[in-house]
Amino acid sequence: MLLEIEQLTLRFGGLVSLNAVDLAVGVQELVALIGPNGAGKTCVLNCISGLYRPSAGRIRFQGRDITHLRPHQIAQLGIGRTFQHVELFRHLSVLQNVLLGRHLHIRSNPLLDGLFWGPAAREEIAQRQAIAPLIQLLQLDAVRHRPVSELPYGLQKLVGVARALAMEPKLLLLDEPSAGMNRPEKEHLARVLLRIKNELRVPMLWVEHDMELVADLADRVQVLHYGQMIAGGSPDEVLRHPEVVRVYLGRRQPSA
């Protein structure tokens, strides 16, 4: 497995946000993490990316224990992520925001960068060329020079995905990328996720509320409820699971 989480527990004082959670993501696998609001889904991503320090348990990435690493160290290992709320520099253009995702790959010299001369100019050109396929993949060409503040919310979410992909991650964490999107935007997002998986071959751990998207795209689904994992398996198995039906619909699964 690419990512392995064992008995992950997160406490804030007397509040237990995650309770002995087990989770795994394989190579080239799209795993959806679902659950009601407040279930602890974002807490899982924050623990993986180093924003939260787990109270107990272990997180391994490519066989290495990353449980207590800092966020920048985890990013350097190849774990990228998006955020539930758009975290972009609104006054910068789409292109500039996506370029920020290349920070791990940029070689800089403060003097030459200020002059934008010689190696600095060549480096800038190389990095722009590196992100050009991502801009095209997410169909952001027409807005690449516009400030993100001028874009619809759905497009801003796609810019966040492009920025995360710009770091060339080995694993991509997606925190509700479809939130705030209308149906055509969600359909475009679905195509993007399939291309990320099949063309870029980047595995993903995907927090999502849209069950139609989950059923169509996920290889496996894991369900969190009040910080505990209550079900896991294929989309069909999980979405028919009696406990999942009860949690989401507030009733028992209808009998045959």
**Helix, strand, or coil (residue 5):** strand
Pick one of 3.30.420.40, 1.10.10.10, 3.40.1080.10, 3.40.50.300 as the CATH number of 3-78+169-249. 3.40.50.300
Domain ranges across the chain? 3-78+169-249
Q: 135 with 143: CB under 8 angstroms?
A: no
Q: For the beta carbon of residue 122, count every other beta carbon within 10 angstroms.
A: 11
**Rounded CA gap, 95 and 159, in Å?**
9
**Does the pLDDT value for residue 9 go beyond 90?**
yes
Residues 49, 81: Cα–Cα separation, whole Å? 8
Q: Is the pLDDT of residue 256 over 50?
A: no
Has residue 249 got a pLDDT over 80? no
Would the pLDDT of 224 be above 80?
Answer: yes
For position 163, what pLDDT does the model report?
Answer: 94
Answer whether residue 123 shows pLDDT above 90.
no
CA distance 154 to 246: 31
133: its two tokens: 């396929």
pLDDT confidence bin for 3, thresholds 50/70/90: very high
pLDDT given at position 30 = 97
Q: Integer distance in angstroms from the first to the last C-alpha of the chain?
A: 37
Please give the DSSP secondary-structure letter assigned to residue 194.
H
Statement: residue 158 has pLDDT above 80: yes
Burial class of residue 1 in the structure, from the number of CB atoms within 10 Å of its CB (0-12 exposed, 13-18 middle, 19+ buried): middle
163: CB partners within 8 A, 6+ apart: 82, 88, 97, 98, 100, 101
DSSP 253: P
Average pLDDT over residues 143-149: 94
pLDDT value at residue 239: 87
Q: What pLDDT is recorded for position 225?
A: 93
pLDDT at 104 over 90: no
User: Mind listing the pLDDT tens digit for each residue in 55-101?
Assistant: 999 999 999 999 999 999 999 999 999 998 888 998 999 999 999 88
pTM: 0.88
Task: Give the model's pLDDT for residue 72.
Answer: 93
